[in-house]
Amino acid sequence: MRKPITSKPGYHSLDKGLLIAIVGIVLFGLLSLSSASSIVAYEKFGDPYYYFKHQLFAIAAGVAAFWFFTNFDYRRLKKYAAGFLFFSIFLLVLVFIPGLSADYGTAHSWINVFGFSLQPSEFVKLSFLLYLAAWLEARKKDLHNAHQGIGPFLAVLGLIAFLMLLQPDLGTLSIVGMTSMVVYFVGGGKTKHILYIFLAAILGVFILVQIKPYQMNRFKCVADPNFSKNDVCYQINQSLIAVGSGGVWGRGISGSKQKYMYLPEVSSDFIFAVIAEEVGLFYSIGLVLTYLYIFYRGYKISANAPDDFGKILAIGVVSWITIQMVVNIGGLINIMPMTGVPLPLISYGGSAILTALAALGVLMNISKQTTS
C-alpha cells in the first residue's frame, strides 16, 4: 500500500512508471517527427521544421490538459455524462456546417476555427468514452435486460457510427467501436451480446464494400500487395519497403530514404514506417512494448480503481491507445487493411495528441486513487 501524500483520504502518489512511459513516447515521437517530416515540410513550406514546431505547440496544449486532468478528481466527471454525449454528437455534426467544414479529398472530418484545423472525431474518442463509463456504471445491474442494457447501448453507438460513416471516418469509427466493446464487457455486459455486435459489424463491413467497392481494394492489398502495385497498393508497398530496409538496427536517425517523397503522409499515418526504417526492428519492438507497458499499467489501475466508473474509464483509455497503435502499425506492415488512423502520441496532429494526453491525464488521476 502506497502512503498518502496529501490530506485527502484515498490519495497517494501517481503511477511513476506510467508517467515515464508516456513522456518517453512523446519525446521519441518529437524526434521521429522532426526527421520524418523534414523533407516534405521543406518542399511544402520552405521550412524543414514546420511540422515539428506546430507539434510542439500541440504538445504544450496537451501537457496543460494532462496536468489539469491529473489533478482533477475524475469522479466529478460523472455528473456531466449526458453533456458529454450531446457534445460528442454536436462535434460530429459540426463537420457538415458550411463555413466550418474543411474537406480533404472526399472526407468531411475537419473544421476550421480561427485559422486552426481541428478534427472533432478525435475529441469524441474521449467525450463518448466518458459518457459510456458513467452510463455503464449506472446501468450495471440492468445490462442483462435488452431494453435497459444492450438496446440503448446500440442505439447511442449506432448514432455515433452513423455520423462518422457520413464523413466518412472509418478509421476513427473502428477505434471508437472496438473501445466501446471493451468497456461494455468490463462494465458487465454479456459476452453473447458482444458476439452479436461483432457479427453485425462483419455484416456491416460486407455491406459497405458492396456500396463502395473501392473499400474492397484495401482488403485486396492485404491479400496481395502486388495487386495494383503502382496505384491502389502504392502506399502499402512503399511502407513495406521502408520497414524492410530498416533491418535490425536501422539506417540511423535522419537516414530514411522513403521520406524523400516516396512514402506519403510520413508525418502522420505512415510515420511508423519511417521510424522502422531509421531505428530498425530492435527499437521498433521496444516502442511497441512501451505501448503495451502503458496498457499493462492501465489494466492494473483499472483493477484497483475505487469504483466502477474509474475501472471502466481506465481500461477504456488504455484500450483506445493500444487498439489504435495496433490498427496503425498493423496497416503499415499489411497484416490488416489501412484505415488512416494516427500513431498515438507520435503522429502529427494537434487534435489527436491533445485528446490522448487529456485522456491519459484522467488515467493518471485514477492511479492516484487506486486501492493498492
CB neighbours of residue 315 within 10 Å: 25
For position 2, what pLDDT does the model report?
Answer: 46
Residue 259 lies inside a defined structural domain of this protein? yes
Mean pLDDT across the chain, nearest whole number? Answer: 88
- Give the DSSP per-residue string, 217-251: HHHHHHH-TTTTTTTTTHHHHHHHHHHHHTTTT-S
Cis peptide before 337 (omega within 30 of 0): no
Query: Averaging pLDDT over each range in 93-102, 170-179, 199-208, 305-314, which range is the top one?
Result: 305-314
* Cα–Cα dist 62/79, whole Å: 24
Domains of the chain: total: 1
Contacts 24+ apart (CB under 8 A), 105-111: 106/168, 107/167, 107/168, 107/169, 108/166, 108/167, 109/167, 109/169, 109/172
Separation in Å, CA 44 to CA 1, 50, 86, 351: 54, 9, 38, 21
For position 5, what pLDDT does the model report?
Answer: 41
For position 200, what pLDDT does the model report?
Answer: 83
C-alpha cell of 306? Answer: 475505487
What would the pLDDT profile of 296-314 be if each residue is shown by its tens digit?
Answer: 999 999 999 999 999 999 9
What would the pLDDT profile of 216-270 be if each residue is shown by its tens digit?
Answer: 788 888 888 888 788 888 899 999 999 999 999 999 988 899 999 888 889 999 9
Q: What is the CA radius of gyration of the chain?
A: 21
Residue 10 lies inside a defined structural domain of this protein? no
Q: Which residue has the higher pLDDT, 114 or 372?
A: 372
Q: What is the mean pLDDT of residues 2-20?
A: 70
Residue 8 has pLDDT above 80, yes or no: no
Residue 7 lies inside a defined structural domain of this protein? no
Residue 372 lies inside a defined structural domain of this protein? no
* Cα–Cα dist 231/355, whole Å: 34
Q: What is the mean pLDDT of residues 320-345?
A: 93
Separation in Å, CA 186 to CA 9, 133, 211, 312: 27, 10, 34, 6
- Residue 109 phi/psi, 5-degree rounding, is -110, 0
Q: What is the pTM of this model?
A: 0.92
Residue 120 lies inside a defined structural domain of this protein? yes
Domain that holds residue 150: 16-367
Residue 245 lies inside a defined structural domain of this protein? yes
For position 15, what pLDDT does the model report?
Answer: 93
For position 309, what pLDDT does the model report?
Answer: 96
Q: What is the mean pLDDT of residues 28-35?
A: 96
pLDDT band per the 50, 70, 90 thresholds, residue 372: confident
- Residue 118 phi/psi, 5-degree rounding, is -125, 145
Q: Which of 69-73, 264-268, 316-320, 356-360 has the lowest mean pLDDT?
A: 264-268
Q: Which residue has the higher pLDDT, 10 or 247?
A: 247
Residue 166 lies inside a defined structural domain of this protein? yes
* Cα–Cα dist 329/273, whole Å: 8
Residue 4 lies inside a defined structural domain of this protein? no
DSSP, collapsed to helix, strand or coil, labels residue 325 as helix
For position 191, what pLDDT does the model report?
Answer: 84
Q: What is the mean pLDDT of residues 55-61?
A: 95
